[in-house]
Structure 1
Amino acid sequence: MPRPPLTPAEYWDLYKPYRGEGEQPAPSAERFEWTQFPGHGPGPELLGTPRTVLELGSGEGADAVHLARRGVQVTGVDFSAVQIARARRWWSHVPGVTFVHADVCGFLMSEATEYDAIYSMWGAVWFTDPEQLLPLVAKRLGPGGVVVFSHAEPSPGTHGAQQMHGKWLEGRERELTVLRWQYAPAAWADLLKRSGFAHVDACIVPPPGDEPLGTLLVRAEVA
């Protein structure tokens, strides 16, 4: 009997499998970059000078730790129990950062905390229905708060939820069932404005050199 497809949570539990020997080392928290290319594009300055920040889809926690080391109070939310366990193990000694195991929409609905900035770096914004997520984000931002997110440049002609195709992880026979929401910059701007945001800047950051894929980068302020 065929095994059931991987669920989204299982996918992220298995993401970036460690192939070395001994205890898996912590990733570097020296860089904070919105694109997939080191040293290319803007950095944390897009968040302004926030005191409190929420990361949606914090994964292993390196980006949240980078901000915490700059004096920001950071909360990272991820629904992968494995990724949150790694983040807590690696970064428990760093003051100013907290990692929460939760679905991002459930967290935003259940928590009353307001943040100066909310961001997602190739994280949960890409993998969550924006019609549901963005209004919740707007409610959790304080006056003048900003949201910033990035992910891969959308494929030409794609619009809305797109299934990730193909098998993943060596030696596994389970198909993926993970959806990514793909929109052109203008469509993201419209979604954000309808969700309570203003001063939207949505663009594609061109890749360096001969790299084929750019980065979608979006910044908006709560209206």
Structure 2
Amino acid sequence: MADTAIAWDTYSKQRPERRATNGRGETTWFNWTQYSDHGPGAELLGVQAGGLVLDVGCGKGGNAAHLAAIGMRAVGVDVSPQQLGAARERWGHTPGLELHQADAVSFLRQPGPQFDAVYSVYGAVWFSAPAELLPAIRERLRPGGQMVFSQRPPVEGCYGCQASYIPRGEDQDPAVVRRWDYEPDVWVSLLKEYGFTEVLARVLAAPPGPRTVGTLIVQAQA
């Protein structure tokens, strides 16, 4: 876990902070995509105020903070102390928000409550072995609970476990983490294999502009 935490600490230093407000002037908001003010929001989780939700790979905590701000009980888990430090500094005062440093699989395997939804935004679902993570999520979801995740669609021909490189200093080799890339129909099959139902996987097109890569969004029910 130490090497993984170092890699994501490095990544954290390279990422810009979330804006103070979004395009609608809101101080918290939910964003599934890599583009500002684009795509669906928290409604994909199907959870009402008071519901218990888990963000696996919460990063700097903006999405989890939004869910807490609208009345949910939001738990965020991340392996990176640097990311969690930024999350606590900006969002730690938010009632209903709870943050933990752990890798997602280890956290899910601990005894604890069942969640109304588990989600990942370019997070742990992308960077964890499905054979370990998916059954762990399934066990911690209440019956009918939702799993939703988003990530970049795979590059054509590059499927399964891939290497992701995080640049470091000029004289240092990049940090390397593993990610799992599948086409939408493969995600549907995998999730059904691990007991999920009502699985929907689609690629949301990018907004108008120079960048054309969409966002893969997958929804499933326990």
If the length of structure 2 is used for normalisation, what is the TM-score? 0.89
Q: 1:130 and 1:18, CA in 2 relative to 1: closer, same or farther beyond 3 A?
A: closer
**Shift, 1:41, TM fit:** 1.4
Task: Indicate how the Cα distance of structure 1 residues 9 and 92 shifts in structure 2: closer, same or farther if over 3 A, else same.
Answer: same
Alpha-carbon offset, residue 158 of structure 1: 1.7
SS at match of 1:42: coil
Paired position in structure 1 for 2:37 = 39
Unpaired runs of 5+ residues, structure 2, are 21-26
Provide, for residues 170-190 of structure 1, a one-character-per-residue CA deviation record: whole Å limited to 9, x for no partner: 435122221110000000001
Distance in 1 separating the partners of 2:168 and 2:66: 29
Verify the 8 A CA contact 2:12 2:82 in the aligned structure 1.
no
| Preserved CA contact (<8 Å) 1:78 1:84 | yes
Q: CA–CA distance in 1 between the matches of 2:138 and 2:170?
A: 42
Counterpart position of 2:53: 53
CA contact (8 A) 1:7 1:177 kept: no
Which of 5, 12, 21 is matched with 1:9 structurally? 5
Q: Secondary structure at the match of 1:124?
A: coil
* Partner of residue 91, structure 1: 91
Q: RMSD of the alignment, in Å? A: 2.0
- 1:65-84 aligned at under 5 Å gives the runs 65-84=65-84
Which residue identity does 1:15 align to in structure 2? Answer: Y
Does the alignment pair 1:106 with 2:102? no
Q: Does 2:113 match 1:117?
A: no
Between the two proteins, the alignment pairs up a number of residues equal to: 212
Q: Distance in 2 between matches of 1:192 and 1:19?
A: 30
> Secondary structure in 1 aligned to 2:192?
helix
1:195 aligns to what? 194
Shift of 1:49: 2.2
CA distance in 2, matches of 1:186, 1:114: 28
Q: CA deviation at 1:126?
A: 0.4
Please identify runs of 4+ aligned residues in structure 1 that moved more than 6 A. Answer: none
Structure 1 segments unaligned to the other structure (5+ residues): 1-5
8 Å Cα contact 1:26/1:90 also seen in 2: no
% identity of equivalent residues? 41
Q: TM-score, normalised by structure 1?
A: 0.88
